[in-house]
C-alpha cells in the first residue's frame, strides 16, 4: 500500500494505519486521525506524543460535557476514542515506564476505558489479571 502520510517514515505510517484499524470498533475517527497526523513532524516522537495527547485531552473533556448533558452513548464513544488516542500517544514511550509522560498517557487511557466500559448496557465487566 502506498504511504499517504509520513512518506519518509515507515514506522509512523504503520502506526497511523493501526489507528485506522480502530475505527471499526469506535476507537478512532478517520478525520480525527488525519487532523492529528497533520500536527506530527515525521520522525519526531515528541510531536507525535503531543498531537495525540492534545486530541485525547480535548475529546475526553468533550465526552465529560456530553455525559453531564445526559448523553450516555455519545459520552461513552468519546471516552473510547480518547482512551485509544492516549494509548497511541504513549506507544513510542513504552521503553520508559517510569517516564512522567508515559505514566500520564497510560493512566488516562486506562481511566477513560474503565469509564467507557461502565457505560455499556450491560456494563463491560473488567477483570484484573494477576501479574
For the residues 93-102, what does the mean pLDDT come to?
A: 72
Q: Which three cell numbers stand for residue 47?
A: 510531536
The total number of residues shown for the chain amounts to 131
Q: Which CATH class is domain 10-118?
A: mainly alpha
pTM across the whole model: 0.90
Q: Which long-range contacts (CB under 8 A, 24 or more apart) does 21-25 make?
A: 22/84
DSSP line for 27-73? S--HHHHHHHHHTPPTT-HHHHHHHHHHHHHHHHHHHHHHHHTT-HH
Q: Which three cell numbers stand for residue 127?
A: 477483570
Tens digits of per-residue pLDDT, 19-47? 999 999 999 999 999 999 999 999 999 99
Amino acid at each position: 500500500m502506498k504511504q499517504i502520510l509520513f512518506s519518509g517514515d515507515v514506522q509512523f505510517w504503520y502506526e497511523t494505519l493501526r489507528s485506522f484499524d480502530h475505527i471499526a470498533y469506535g476507537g478512532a475517527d478517520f478525520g480525527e486521525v488525519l487532523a492529528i497526523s497533520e500536527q506530527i513532524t515525521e520522525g519526531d516522537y515528541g510531536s507525535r506524543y503531543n498531537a495525540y495527547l492534545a486530541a485525547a485531552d480535548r475529546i475526553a473533556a468533550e465526552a465529560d460535557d456530553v455525559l453531564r448533558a445526559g448523553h450516555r452513548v455519545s459520552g461513552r464513544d468519546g471516552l473510547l476514542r480518547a482512551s485509544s488516542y492516549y494509548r497511541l500517544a504513549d506507544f513510542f514511550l513504552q521503553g520508559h515506564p517510569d517516564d512522567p509522560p508515559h505514566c500520564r498517557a497510560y493512566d488516562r487511557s486506562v481511566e477513560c476505558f474503565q469509564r467507557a466500559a461502565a457505560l455499556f448496557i450491560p456494563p463491560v465487566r473488567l477483570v484484573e489479571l494477576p501479574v
